[in-house]
């Protein structure tokens, strides 16, 4: 199968990001295999995808197949061994170092020798994940933004051992999704989250210190700096559990205490207020 044509692509993890990436792939005409051992997560992902595909039609942004045709291209399974014929596999499991390393070691064992292995990690160095495999030259980072179907740009992370051919394959795949890949070097947080997580942490700390409430904080960033979304609304969109996990990983990887999750963030996560997906985070959503 030539580069750029339809191919079999695996997605590991049926969470918000995994479902969004799978939707992008199916809309582009690829056959998608989504792996998640949790039946409840799979059912929730199916539902989210159906709703998102219907919404795409209502908003007039779907120029590809009909929702039913795109959904039919997605196959759901609980077994990683079902990825043995996938040309590319994109890992989208929670942002925990030990979990991702375990997944990559297993993917290395079950996937075809020429398969490209990509991680949607938001901050764990690609070379650390590649070290769990026997094919570090075929490992790359594809940091999709949430919600994946609505974001046109992907941060592409080139590890020190990622081959030029693997980087080209990753960029070609993104082009089939009508997305632009911007290549950065490897390191904790890459570029986006190295900066963004510090911004969210300081905004949440200021909130906890009583300097400004969430509405005021975001209004300043949006009105004074021209940001379409302030740092706390951005955190709510990402998911506060994901923000917490990313900060925790960055603190472990860098030793920099500035990445310690602020108390105001921890309290919301512990209360189950995870942002837009639960209806409440730093802000409330109807």
Residue 23 labeled ligand binder: no
Q: Is 258 a catalytic residue?
A: no
Residue 122 labeled ligand binder: yes
Residue 187 labeled ligand binder: no
Residue 181 labeled ligand binder: no
Q: What one-character DSSP code corresponds to residue 275?
A: B
Residue 242 labeled ligand binder: no
Residue 16 labeled ligand binder: yes
Rounded CA separation 112/135 (Å): 11
Secondary structure string (H, E, C) spanning 168-188: HHHHHHHHHCCCEEEEEECCC
Residue 248 labeled ligand binder: no
Residue 36 labeled ligand binder: yes
Q: What one-character DSSP code corresponds to residue 111?
A: S
Residue 64 labeled ligand binder: no
- Which residue in the list 30, 85, 143, 244 is annotated as catalytic? 143
Contact in structure between 30 and 72 (CB atoms under 8 Å): no
Residue 14 labeled ligand binder: yes
Q: Kindly give, in sequence order, each residue whose CB lies less than 8 Å from that of residue 168, ignoring residues fewer than 6 positions away.
A: 3
- 153-158/139-143 β-pairing: antiparallel
| Burial (Cβ within 10 Å: 0-12, 13-18, ≥19) of residue 64 | middle
Known binding-site residues equal: 13-18, 36, 95, 100, 122, 146, 277
Known binding-site residues for NAD(+) equal: 13-18, 36, 95, 100, 122, 146, 277
Query: Any idea which residues carry the catalytic annotation?
Result: 143
């Amino acid at each position: 199968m030539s580069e750029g044509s339809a191919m079999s692509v695996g997605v590991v993890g049926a969470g918000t990001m995994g479902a969004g990436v799978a939707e992008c792939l199916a809309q582009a005409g690829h056959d998608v295999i989504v792996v998640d051992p949790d039946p409840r997560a799979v059912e929730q992902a199916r539902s989210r995808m159906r709703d998102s595909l219907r919404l795409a039609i209502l908003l007039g942004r779907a120029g590809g197949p009909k929702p039913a045709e795109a959904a039919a291209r997605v196959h759901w399974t609980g077994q990683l061994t079902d990825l043995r014929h996938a040309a590319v596999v994109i890992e989208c499991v929670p942002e925990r170092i030990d979990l991702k390393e375990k997944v990559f070691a297993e993917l290395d064992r079950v996937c075809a020798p020429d398969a490209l292995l990509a991680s949607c990690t938001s901050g764990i160095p690609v070379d650390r994940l590649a070290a769990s495999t026997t094919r570090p030259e075929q490992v790359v980072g594809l940091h999709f933004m949430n919600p994946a179907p609505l974001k046109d740009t992907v941060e592409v992370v080139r590890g020190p051992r990622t081959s030029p051919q693997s980087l080209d394959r990753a960029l070609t795949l993104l082009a089939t999704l009508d997305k632009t890949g911007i290549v950065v070097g490897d390191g904790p947080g890459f570029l986006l989250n190295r900066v963004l997580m510090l911004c969210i942490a300081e905004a949440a700390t200021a909130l906890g210190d009583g300097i400004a409430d969430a509405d005021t904080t975001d209004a300043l960033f949006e009105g004074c700096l021209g940001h379409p979304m302030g740092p706390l609304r951005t955190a709510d969109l990402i998911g506060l559990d994901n923000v917490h996990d990313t900060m925790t990983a960055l603190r472990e990887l860098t030793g920099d205490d500035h990445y310690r999750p602020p108390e105001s963030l921890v309290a919301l996560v512990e209360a189950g207020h995870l942002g837009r997906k639960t209806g409440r985070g730093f802000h409330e959503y109807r």
